[in-house]
Structure 1
Amino acid sequence: MAVANGSDAEAPAVTVTGTRTVAPANNSCTLATFDLPYITFYYNQKLLLYRTPAAGFPDAVARMTAALADALRVFYPLAGRIRQDADGALAVEGDQGAEVVEAEAEGVSVDDLAGGDCGQEAERVMQHLVPYTGVMNLEGLHRPLLAVQLTKLKDGLAVGCAFNHAVLDGTSTWHFMSSWAELCRAGGGAPSLLPMHDRALARSVRVRLELPASAEAHEKTDPNGPKKTLVARVFSFPEATVARIKAAANAALPPCAKPFSTFQSLGAHIWRAVSRARGLGPSDITAFAVFADCRSRLDPVLPPAYFGNLIQAVFTGVPAGMLLGGPPELAAGLLQKAIDEHDAAAVTRRLEEYEAAPKLFHYSDAGPNCVAVGSSPRFKVYDVDFGLGRPERVRSGGNNKFDGMVYLYPGRGGDGGIDVELALQAEPMQRLQKDHDFLLQPN
């Protein structure tokens, strides 16, 4: 089956050559309150590109599929389906398995896709290297919660994954990916870090949800109307540039002040640049949201091995005139304050508010002129080695990329650089790409 790329044949075809199901033994788990807000998000998509001889593709697929079966025996929620009981509460049950798709795109090379700014044609190709584009998490009621596409490239292998976001967050995603790769290298066994599946440790409350009939039905209820056409780009900031941004944010702080972190400094830098690129007026409110990991914020804390969602969106907002007219430390200070104040009590209040009035979210709920950051440069995405070496590039798919959505990844070199994957409308993106203050390049 040939899959067209964009309009007609603007990019090389990706041809699906086979599909199978990989399943473990039957297990179940109830979704916690932390999980439920993501039921009307879309499957999270990750793409990893590996350079390997094309002749090794069948062996790689066989080893990766066998290791996936081993991984799913341990990470069993990814092999079930979402079920809703008569009271409207959600759980994951069953052993129907994950979907594995084999495909070919032998006219595409790794270098076509792994460059810093590969352009719109490469973006179109990449959307066909990850499964479940446009599939909302609520479809986990009848679809696999994990889908994997293994695509043979001219000189490599593309590993595209789609994870149901109502089942896991970024920390758990990369825990699973590193464990799957570890089992592939070892030829079986058990991963070195076992997942913790008791979601009652996070929150044991049954919440009734009234689910829409479909993604389309839910999107029609968005008061801000249909999604806008977006452009995605990757901006690679070397370690030296990241250090300059952090130093600039911290330069004016008094000696006794708490210094700004790399994330707070870079987040402020991005927020200000995107606000300039959007051409916001002085009184226009702009919001910043970070999906904060709450494992260390709970009391008692939960370890990184907790498998599920333990994130909450932390918001702050300010008029654009204040954001852009003030120094870098103003924006960084706003982020630091919002993040520091999101302690165990704040986490619990947010959970209680949701349980009292459950809501099906839209992207527009993030706020006006929003910049939202998901993923983290702390995730060791370039350590995911299936025996093929380190990935040449790690990217996100098109799902969950609304206007202003940012994914942060460590630079491939492992030297402290950070890749900023950003989605914006076309005109602001054009301005951002020419913004020397954002890129920190000479005029």
Structure 2
Amino acid sequence: MAGGGVVLVSSSIVRPVNSSQSGQTKIHLTPFDLSLLQFDYPQRGLLFSKPDSDFHLISRLKDSLALALEIYFPFAGRLVKTENLEDNTVSFFIDCDDSGARFLHCEAKSVSVSDFLQPDGSVPDFMKHFFPADDFKSCDGVSVPLLVIQVTEMKDGVFISFCYNHMVADGVSMWSFFHTWSKICSSGSGFNHKPLVLKGWFLEGIDYPIHIPVSETERSPPSRELSSVPITKEWIFHFSKKNILDLKAKANSEVASSSDMEVSSLQAISAHMWRSIIRHSGVSRERETHCKIVVDLRQRVNPPLEKDCFGNMVYLTSAITTAEELLDRGLGEAALQLRKLVSSQTNETCKRFAEDWVRNVKNLKSGIGSKVGDTIVVASSPRFEVYNKDFGWGKPIAIRAGPSNSISGKLSVFQGINEGSIDIQATLWGDVIVKLLADVEFLEHVTIA
């Protein structure tokens, strides 16, 4: 099979067509934003078939990106850090100065679409070279762009990937931007797009900009422990519409007599993955295990925000139990715990988190994973419509997550290409992958391509 073979052809900065049109020069950052200061830039990418040579791929993508950045102007800005000498702290804000996004044009002439789409669901190691970030963290936004695009031309396909600063936006905002960019590119010109609505959520009683201890904003040195951590591998697990309906029905039937809450499809799938992974992770039965899930808070604060307002408005929260309870109490109880966790994220919860965070800034360097295999993190969402992103030569044929926050237990959840299906790209220790692929109970509800 082909190797990575990715060659950088050019690197350039793309700026909004009309500079200084935003009318917005400074965006203050909330506790929800600043808690992601040490998080990696999220990375995602879409695989397409190759357009005809007369499409003028790179020039059209760059020209339409400039128009999209005029609308989504925060992505063309930079992170600014200011020193507060009076209390030895620093503060951050987004300066919408039209500095621009970086655009990387690459080629991988030896790689074909079939190399990407392995029939067993495995994700090739070379794929990491198809993504733009080189260990970018949100705090690096003071010196690197807040958005980086990489377009890699392959033998018979094109891979368009991106990474973005998580303090500036979340998945809702990023995919909205990507959709707008694709529509502009496919139409060959701009279109009437309503002005961007910023999230505008600030908590009364909190002074901005927020002061953060200098020690919490410095990059953590590489961990010496990583050399002893097993190698992770990535795998795509496909849940067909039937798989999902069966899992959801099973979970709800197990808790029907004890709760009037209905478990969702995603909660059932997440619980199935959580139980299956912990069963094979070698975690002692007495040890606590965490399932961290991302909750969109736009409609949970009071007054609620617009569903598609731009910015980062997500919160990472954890369901916690022991491995013994997780494995012995069944799928329904695990899914119900996730259901209750999501329901508990209210306006009061948001206010309490923000107030506590400002009073006691901590854990910025803790990351999202665990080296001992007791934690899974469910990121992204099947609600994001990823297969309608047509830049003018056809819709995507696959989506992939790039390397970021990729300690074992990271699950990136995507809409499946078939209606009603869901795909999970799992980053797990190699031996856990092997055991999952031999686990009859796990595979009963998963479709291996």
TM-score, length-scaled by structure 1: 0.90
3-state secondary structure, aligned to 2:316? strand
Change (3 A) 1:387 1:426: same
2:112 to 102, 109, 114: 109
Partner in structure 1 of residue 128 of structure 2: 127
C-alpha separation in 1, matches of 2:106 and 2:153: 6
1:62 aligns with 2:30: no
C-alpha separation in 2, matches of 1:193 and 1:46: 26
Partner in structure 1 of residue 338 of structure 2: 335
3-state secondary structure, aligned to 1:363? coil
- 1:125 Cα deviation from its structure 2 partner: 2.2
1:244 to 234, 243, 246: 246
- 1:200-219 mapped onto 2 (5 Å cutoff): 200=201, 205-211=208-214, 217-219=219-221
3-state secondary structure, aligned to 1:19? strand
Q: Deviations 1:376-413 (Å, cap 9, x if unpaired)? A: 00000111111122111111101122221111101112
Q: Which amino acid aligns with 1:363?
A: G
Partner in structure 2 of residue 177 of structure 1: 178
- 1:220 Cα deviation from its structure 2 partner: 4.8
1:419 aligns with 2:423: yes
- 1:41 Cα deviation from its structure 2 partner: 0.6
Q: Deviations 1:166-206 (Å, cap 9, x if unpaired)? A: 21111111111111111112223246454312534578742
Contact 1:224–1:364 (Cα < 8 Å) also in 2: no
3-state secondary structure, aligned to 1:92? strand
3-state secondary structure, aligned to 2:83? coil
TM-score, length-scaled by structure 2: 0.89
- 1:429 Cα deviation from its structure 2 partner: 1.7
3-state secondary structure, aligned to 1:324? helix
Partner in structure 1 of residue 6 of structure 2: 14
- 1:23 Cα deviation from its structure 2 partner: 1.0
Change (3 A) 1:90 1:330: same
- 1:333 Cα deviation from its structure 2 partner: 1.4
Contact 1:50–1:392 (Cα < 8 Å) also in 2: yes
1:397 aligns with 2:402: yes
3-state secondary structure, aligned to 1:21? strand
2:411 to 402, 406, 411: 406
- 1:142-153 mapped onto 2 (5 Å cutoff): 142-153=143-154
Partner in structure 2 of residue 50 of structure 1: 48
Q: Which amino acid aligns with 2:309?
A: Y
Change (3 A) 1:202 1:233: farther
- 1:232-311 mapped onto 2 (5 Å cutoff): 232-252=234-254, 253-254=256-257, 257-311=260-314
C-alpha separation in 2, matches of 1:227 and 1:364: 16
C-alpha separation in 1, matches of 2:344 and 2:4: 49
2:433 to 414, 426, 429: 429
C-alpha separation in 2, matches of 1:314 and 1:213: 21
Contact 2:274–2:291 (Cα < 8 Å) also in 1: yes
Q: Which amino acid aligns with 1:319?
A: T
- 1:148-167 mapped onto 2 (5 Å cutoff): 148-167=149-168
Change (3 A) 1:55 1:202: farther
Contact 2:3–2:111 (Cα < 8 Å) also in 1: no
- 1:256 Cα deviation from its structure 2 partner: 7.2
State the identity as a percent: 27
C-alpha separation in 2, matches of 1:349 and 1:224: 34
1:380 to 385, 389, 405: 385
- 1:226 Cα deviation from its structure 2 partner: 8.0
Change (3 A) 1:12 1:373: closer
Q: Deviations 1:409-440 (Å, cap 9, x if unpaired)? A: 01112x11100111111111211122121121
1:321 to 321, 324, 330: 324
1:35 to 30, 33, 36: 33
Structure 1 gaps, min length 5: 1-8
Structure 2 gaps, min length 5: 85-89
Between 1:365-374 and 1:380-389, the stretch displaced more is: 365-374
Partner in structure 1 of residue 94 of structure 2: 92
1:440 aligns with 2:444: yes
Contact 1:133–1:398 (Cα < 8 Å) also in 2: no
Between 1:376-385 and 1:132-141, the stretch displaced more is: 132-141
Change (3 A) 1:365 1:327: closer
C-alpha separation in 2, matches of 1:189 and 1:207: 37
Contact 2:233–2:430 (Cα < 8 Å) also in 1: yes
Change (3 A) 1:115 1:199: farther
3-state secondary structure, aligned to 2:102? strand
Change (3 A) 1:130 1:119: same
Contact 1:54–1:153 (Cα < 8 Å) also in 2: no
- 1:112 Cα deviation from its structure 2 partner: 1.5
Change (3 A) 1:225 1:354: farther
C-alpha separation in 2, matches of 1:197 and 1:292: 19
C-alpha separation in 1, matches of 2:367 and 2:137: 13
Partner in structure 2 of residue 4 of structure 1: none
- Cα root mean square deviation, aligned: 2.6
- 1:269 Cα deviation from its structure 2 partner: 0.7
- 1:115 Cα deviation from its structure 2 partner: 3.8
Partner in structure 1 of residue 73 of structure 2: 76
Between 1:144-153 and 1:129-138, the stretch displaced more is: 129-138
